[in-house]
Chains A and B, each alone.
Chain A
């Protein structure tokens, strides 16, 4: 190798990031060397600080620096709806969309026997306890539209069955803002199959 040992070590670390290959890792390392040294010190201290101060919310499992997290302790959120998600990343996407204002519960895993993955039994027990104690009127199980998402969905459904709370799952279908003419055939067929009944309401 033509680069110095510390640079190479850093590159190796960078290349472990998701979506970062050897080339990008090298660019990152060289970029750091070009910046004033303050930047590197701030970066490393921020990383340490993040690791030291961040933990999982004891209620929902969200990443936080205070317990309970800002979502669980937000008085303006809808406390009657609970959305169950596989991981924090999915939850952040949902949050960013602004489509949802209820509370969350992060499973911290998914069911995939093939990959040796499962949801911790304690986590499901915790969900059961939480959903039973709260005053929830609806549980939304927001798992992916895939075989593993289905398996996870059924595991969650099984855990919350006894609570008797109305349970729903995200629908799959046409991308909004798109047009039917441009949708691929697979999506069209899937959306036909998951179509919903329109209730004709009496406007009187």
Chain B
């Protein structure tokens, strides 16, 4: 899918603006605090996801003019023609072609993938960072995924509460087990897709990188059995610590280069390249499975790549044919084969 036209008003520090977007690559260039990330955030909201910082929705409204309405709109083309509008008050109200729709239902229609500065440390960061990559892909591929993950989290809190109160744990285990097995099945499928996609990252990193889901369990093949057996095996630890040590909340994505883990054998720059490749790989998974081209939102991805890394990334991005919005604070790429926009104090102009 592609964004062809956007409109925003009263959103963060952005000045009201109506803009046409071509397909291909877009570079948003501007000093710190100018509003580059806010533009990506507007696209993020318009494709069915929330604010980037997980803050209250009200924080999306412009501070300087809080009385004024906050409004976003986008027109998409590509695999489908789509008009999306979002009004932001105490919550986000989204409309598709004039009729109300839950924002999460927009996600599969206009699949977007985002890469934030923190994601650059995907390889060496906490497992939660890597689970987020898997969860984003799963939420796009499996419509019930976000709901199930939410239910699982709730059931887990119920179990931990029962644990603290010294209550019987049987019922919570029965609720958790099928949810855990279902989430694992999705994540395994997502990890497979990411692994297959990595071969297309062409030159951004050495060939031979693989990823594998390491489940928060003993690892028996049958997922349901795995949950039950692992729960039994870690029973004492669970009682002692008061938190459930088994399940998807303990999953990790192990990234290997040959026999070794990438986190141990790659330089910082190469770990960054691997991180970016994993995102691109999710993009290929989306395109293959959903038959829709994703929209890529890349925040400060270039910053930590060397010149060669940037050139390779750009050539890979060009080959995908996806619409890409990349931000950067400095003109670090002399050869940007797309449009360049200057962002300054909430204003955006084509260069």
| CB neighbours of B157 from chain A (8 A) | 114
Given contacts A113-B161, A147-B158, A186-B144, contact A154 B105 (CB under 8 A): no
Q: Are A185 and B143 in contact (CB under 8 A)?
A: yes
* A78 interfacial by beta-carbon distance below 8 Å: no
* A155 interfacial by beta-carbon distance below 8 Å: yes
* B147 interfacial by beta-carbon distance below 8 Å: yes
0/1 interface trace, chain B 125-156, chain A, CB 8 Å (1 if under): 00000000000000000111001000100110
* A151 interfacial by beta-carbon distance below 8 Å: yes
| CB neighbours of A116 from chain B (8 A) | 165
* A150 interfacial by beta-carbon distance below 8 Å: yes
A186 to B144, CA, bound (A): 5
Q: Are A151 and B161 in contact (CB under 8 A)?
A: no
A146 to B155, CA, bound (A): 9
Cβ-neighbour of B158 out of A113, A185, A189, A193 (below 8 A): A113
Given contacts A147-B155, A186-B144, contact A111 B171 (CB under 8 A): yes
Q: Are B144 and A189 in contact (CB under 8 A)?
A: yes
* A112 interfacial by beta-carbon distance below 8 Å: yes
Q: Are A186 and B158 in contact (CB under 8 A)?
A: no
Tell me the count of chain B residues lying within 8 A, CB to CB, of chain A. 22
* B351 interfacial by beta-carbon distance below 8 Å: no
* A74 interfacial by beta-carbon distance below 8 Å: no
| CB neighbours of B102 from chain A (8 A) | 184
* B175 interfacial by beta-carbon distance below 8 Å: yes
* A158 interfacial by beta-carbon distance below 8 Å: yes
| CB neighbours of A111 from chain B (8 A) | 171
A150 to B161, CA, bound (A): 16
Q: Are A154 and B174 in contact (CB under 8 A)?
A: yes
0/1 interface trace, chain A 171-204, chain B, CB 8 Å (1 if under): 0000000000000111011100100000000000
Shortest distance between the CB of A123 and any CB in chain B (Å): 16
* B170 interfacial by beta-carbon distance below 8 Å: yes
* B196 interfacial by beta-carbon distance below 8 Å: no
Q: Are B171 and A185 in contact (CB under 8 A)?
A: no
| CB neighbours of B105 from chain A (8 A) | 184-185
Q: Are B143 and A189 in contact (CB under 8 A)?
A: yes
A186 to B101, CA, bound (A): 13
Closest partner residue, chain B, to A193 (CB atom): B144
Closest partner residue, chain B, to A192 (CB atom): B144
Shortest distance between the CB of A157 and any CB in chain B (Å): 9
A124 to B174, CA, bound (A): 19
Q: Are A154 and B147 in contact (CB under 8 A)?
A: no
Closest partner residue, chain B, to A118 (CB atom): B167
Nearest 4 Cβ contacts at the A-B interface: A185-B143, A113-B161, A154-B171, A113-B162
19 contacts between A and B (CB under 8 A): A112-B158, A113-B172, A114-B157, A116-B165, A118-B167, A147-B151, A148-B158, A150-B155, A151-B171, A151-B175, A154-B170, A184-B102, A184-B105, A185-B108, A185-B143, A186-B143, A186-B144, A186-B147, A189-B142
Seen from chain A, the residues whose Cβ lies within 8 Å of a Cβ on chain B are 111-114, 116, 118, 146-148, 150-151, 154-155, 158, 184-186, 188-190, 193
Inter-chain pairs besides A158-B170, A190-B144, 13 sampled, C-beta below 8 Å = A114-B161, A118-B167, A147-B155, A147-B175, A148-B158, A150-B155, A150-B174, A151-B172, A154-B175, A184-B105, A185-B144, A186-B143, A186-B147
